[in-house]
Amino acid sequence: MEYLAKKPYLVIFILTLVFIFIFDFFLSVDHILFRTSISSFIAVILSPRKKKLITETGEKTQITWVFLKKPIILD
């Protein structure tokens, strides 16, 4: 999970493909623009968020994600 949290563009791409598949096969949405835009919007909402924190030891990056309970802190 930490590897995926460090690469939000990869998470967005994978989630978009999964949601396109769901909209195409299970919900039978035929319009490709509608299917892709809704899938991309949902993927961006569910992707990890990065935030810069300034601490006494220096600047650190905090990654929060919907799927993780605790944030990941990187040096």
Structure confidence at residue 3 (pLDDT): 76
Reading the block at residue 30, the tokens are 């035929």
Q: Which helix (H) or strand (E) holds 74?
A: strand 72-74
The pLDDT profile of the chain, 75 residues, written as one tens digit per residue, is: 667 767 778 888 888 899 889 888 888 878 888 888 888 898 888 888 888 999 888 899 888 888 778 888 887
48: Cβ–Cβ under 8 A, 6 or more apart, which residues?
4, 5, 8, 11, 63, 64, 65
- How far out from the chain centre does Cα 44 lie? 5
φ and ψ of 49, to 5 deg: -110, 135
The whole-number pLDDT of residue 49 equals 84
Tell me what pLDDT residue 1 has.
64
pTM for the whole structure: 0.70
